Structure 1
Amino acid sequence: MAMKFKMEGAGDIERALAELARGTAKGTMRRAMKKTLKPVAKAAEGLSGGNFKVAVTSKLAASQRRDARMDRGRSKVVLYVGPVMPDGDTAPHAHLYEFGTVQRFHKKSGKSVGAMPARPFMRPAWDAHQATMLETLKREAWKEIEKTVERARRKAERAAR
């Protein structure tokens, strides 16, 4: 399940980021977004009953990359929140856990392998935090911009010596 989250009306943040180098600005926003999405990941992890570790990452499984091609761009910052196995590998069966399955049968033997009830954990976590995410992102973005500017100032000071 993909959800897009676009922040508008944050002109001061956009102008401050425009003053930074593109790579620096992207790193700044990536850190701010990661901090903003951590509560969603923790809530989803708790709702999964410990069956999945939920990660905030920019990496996708090979099968998911094709669908996410349009998310990429020179100045775009894209992060994903999703389930992974405890060892960090992808969790290809997480959607079955989230949405459940109907009664399933083996094609050759006809043997029933049962149904799995839906146990949503990602959507409830997203819904619970969606209202506060924009304000949190604005706050975290400003903190990261200030830290980045301070780092640049210190680096310029060292270079001047």
Structure 2
Amino acid sequence: MTMKLKIEGAGDIERALGQLARGTAKGVGRRAMKKALKPVADMAEATSPFTVKVTSKLAKSQYRSAAGDRGRSKVVLYVGPVRPDGSVLPHGHLYEFGTAPRFHRKSGKSVGAMPARPFMRPAWDANRAQVLATLKRELWTEIEKTMERARRKAARAGS
């Protein structure tokens, strides 16, 4: 399940990020997004048997559908189930959406159906407004921290 969040009308944030180097601005965005998406991951993890993390990793099978997400100036993070080592868990969608009755091809033996047990969508719906508010706040905090670090670095270089 892919959900995109686009902030419009945040011109001050865009201008402040535009004053930073692209790599620095992407780091600012990444740190702010991780903090903003943490409540979604925590709620999803509490309602599922999986470990749920905010990550930039995808399974190999997901790369093609996420091709439009990549770009030089884009910061993309995903919230989803992962294995304990942090690698992607490929069957989380089966738990989220359920399955129809399944049968073995050769023997015809029924292996059952799995009912849908949504955990990501309810977590997103419950935290959507909070994510946006937190993202705006954290972006400003990260921009200010970055500007302060740059000022200190310039002061050290000047003395």
- What amino acid is aligned across from residue 24 of structure 1 in structure 2? T
RMSD: 1.0
- What amino acid is aligned across from residue 148 of structure 1 in structure 2? T
Runs ≥4 residues deviating over 2 A? none
SS at match of 2:112: strand
Describe how 1:100-119 pairs up with structure 2 within 5 A.
100-119=98-117
Could you give the per-residue CA deviations for residues 21-49 of structure 1, whole angstroms, max 9, x where no partner exists?
1111111011111100011001100010x
Q: Does 1:7 align with 2:20?
A: no
Cα distance in 2 for partners of 1:111, 1:61 equals 30
Could you give the per-residue CA deviations for residues 56-101 of structure 1, whole angstroms, max 9, x where no partner exists?
1112111111111111111111111111122322211111111111
The answer for the alignment partner of 1:122 in structure 2 is 120
Describe how 1:28-39 pairs up with structure 2 within 5 A.
28-39=28-39
Tell me how far 1:157 sits from its aligned partner.
1.2
Cα distance in 2 for partners of 1:80, 1:62 equals 14
Contact 2:96 2:118 in 1 (8 A): yes
Describe how 1:3-152 pairs up with structure 2 within 5 A.
3-48=3-48, 51-152=49-150
Cα distance in 2 for partners of 1:89, 1:21 equals 30
Cα distance in 1 for partners of 2:33, 2:84 equals 23
Cα distance in 2 for partners of 1:147, 1:158 equals 17
Tell me how far 1:115 sits from its aligned partner.
1.2
Cα distance in 1 for partners of 2:100, 2:8 equals 41
SS at match of 1:54: strand
Query: What TM-score comes out, normalization by structure 1 length?
Result: 0.95
SS at match of 1:43: helix
Contact 2:57 2:88 in 1 (8 A): no
- What amino acid is aligned across from residue 131 of structure 1 in structure 2? A
Cα distance in 1 for partners of 2:121, 2:129 equals 13
- What amino acid is aligned across from residue 72 of structure 1 in structure 2? R
Which runs of no fewer than 5 residues in structure 1 stay unpaired?
A: none
- What amino acid is aligned across from residue 112 of structure 2 in structure 1? G
- What amino acid is aligned across from residue 20 of structure 1 in structure 2? L
